Amino acid sequence: MREQTLHRNSSSTLLQTWSRTMSFRVLSAQIMHESNSFSVRLTSLDRFADVILLHGDEALRALDGTNTEVAGFLDVAREKSWELVHVLSAHANPAGCVTEEAFEEIVKVVEDAARRERERLDGILLAFHGAMVTTHSCDGEGEILERLRAIVGPDIPIAATLDLHANVTRRMCELADILVSYKTYPHIDMRVAGRHASELLHRAMAGEIKPHTLFVRPPMLEDANGGRTDAGPLVAVMERARAYESEPNVLAVSVNGAFPYADINEIGTTITVTYSGDPEPHRLFAEEMAKAMWDMRYDLVNRFLSPEDAVASALAGDDRPVVIADYADNPGAGGYGDGTNLLRALIAADADACFCPIVDPETASQLQTRKPGETVSIRLGGKVNAAFGGEPLDLVGTLLSVSDGSYTCDGPMYAGVRMSFGPTAVIEVRRVQVVIVTEPHQCHDLQQFLAFGIDPRAKRIIGVKSMQHFRAAFEPIASRVLVCDSGALASPDLTKFTFTRVPRPMYPLEPNTPYNPEVFICSRSSEEPVKVESRA
């Protein structure tokens, strides 16, 4: 999935041949980034090209049938005989803020398509993350929506999908008619969310509904357990959200755990309700749900260990592998992925282990010229900022393999999606097998070991850099899962970060923060959006 150049006139009409009678013409695009504003690694255009930067038919062919929002768009487009004009799919791994140049390059393609199509458009579908920060804007998605509204006007319905970790803003609710977030973490319902948003858009285009979205935001940076939906108190909250969607005039309910590693003024958990008709009952429901999340802020599921304590616990005898997740150095949250503290502890304990990934482009490149079986001396990891996750390790080991880093996922999240770590090498240091990569992907699929000659099921310990996505594929083969805080850039201890834009007081930065949620109700039928401060 690599496309180095954006083609300005490359919108797709792949679905035109599927039906002679087109009911609606829909413009779609995917623009996704989760921005860690504390990272020094800015996200340039080539960072999108390293994951997905495809246009038109090429994007649709690559994503059709996968567990992605765009696949969900396609499902409904086929069923409803839409003429789907897909502009592009642009998705970069979480990292620092998106550069203004990259943002403008990508968004201009969508703006140009909207101008060309606006006289024939019935609706717009967008796949967002919901936590994009650029070097010039704290609300990337809101800015995209604002630009599109300026082109197509207020009457064309717009639907957008969001990650469960979205930081939902006023502009998102004001300018998109429909917002649908994933309801699972690990995210195994991305295609489902795409279908849901598409079905609601179809009803809006047909005049069956006139949707609007409201939100309630309690004063907390994130849900107590980072949005976990496999265990913990958020499970019941999600069930209530699903149940409420069956009520009259309720179109979608989203429980957003938020992305806290961004120093922005609109941040934190939200309950959003997309509805038609009177907003009042939905406001009351959203306020009740937000208060429930607030009341759960001390109900922690994860118990974070030091790397050394995690390794010691994992060695305490199990029939199946023990997974240790380096939560704090998760590339999926913008961590650098080159922290060495957990790997150091595994090697020091002479553990029978495998570890994936450690992001070190320099070392991965150097090892490409060596032959498997050779003894190699390397200086590994800790090169971006050793203060976050550990100093470089001077190691001697056996080179097991080198490759281009390509693999095809077969796990619950991305089955069938082809990905790449970039130039990759596998070394064995004592009894620890380490996957050294160029591109910072988190570990979420068994193929990230198996494709490179490592069977994690045969190891006593499996070390992964991930917060939660690994669970879908790795929990079924594990006896236990341990999580550690290695002190890296996605540490669960949010008090370690210096926030300057975040509204204060804010939990957990101020433990005694009073409960004073923000309620935002928007209707573009009014001259001005309505903002209501709710009761404490």
Kindly compute the dihedral angle of the four CA atoms of residues 343, 348, 353, 354, in this order, to the nearest 10 degrees.
30
Does residue 21 carry a pLDDT above 50?
no
Residues near 234 by beta carbon (within 8 Å), at least 6 away in sequence: 223, 225, 227, 228, 255, 257, 293, 296
Q: What is the pLDDT of residues 492-505, one digit of tens each?
A: 999 999 999 999 99
At residue 379, the pLDDT reads 98
Average pLDDT over residues 265-269: 98
Q: What is the pLDDT of residues 280-302, one digit of tens each?
A: 999 999 999 999 999 999 999 99
d(CA 507, CA 293): 12
Strand partners, 314: none
Q: How confident is the model at residue 318 (pLDDT cuts 50, 70, 90)?
A: confident
Strand partners, 533: 518
Q: How confident is the model at residue 9 (pLDDT cuts 50, 70, 90)?
A: very low
Average pLDDT over residues 82-107: 97
d(CA 366, CA 363): 5
At residue 5, the pLDDT reads 36
d(CA 39, CA 502): 17
Q: How confident is the model at residue 523 (pLDDT cuts 50, 70, 90)?
A: low
Residue 49 or 97, more confident: 97
Average pLDDT over residues 212-218: 97
At residue 20, the pLDDT reads 37
Q: How crowded is residue 369: how many other Cβ atoms within 10 Å of its Cβ?
A: 7
Global pTM?
A: 0.91
Residue 148 or 529, more confident: 148
Does residue 7 carry a pLDDT above 90?
no
Q: What whole-number percentage of the chain has pLDDT above 70?
A: 93
Q: How confident is the model at residue 2 (pLDDT cuts 50, 70, 90)?
A: very low
**DSSP 8-class letter at 185:** S
Does residue 528 carry a pLDDT above 80?
no
Average pLDDT over residues 116-138: 97
Q: How confident is the model at residue 524 (pLDDT cuts 50, 70, 90)?
A: low
Does residue 71 carry a pLDDT above 90?
yes
E strand spans, 294-441: 304-305, 322-326, 353-359, 375-380, 393-403, 406-408, 418-420, 424-429, 432-437
DSSP H helical segments within 56-137, as ranges?
Answer: 56-63, 69-80, 100-117
At residue 319, the pLDDT reads 86
Does residue 119 carry a pLDDT above 50?
yes
Q: Which two tokens stand for residue 20?
A: 């002679």
How do 518-521 and 530-533 pair as beta strands?
antiparallel
d(CA 157, CA 125): 9
As a whole number, the mean pLDDT across the chain is 93
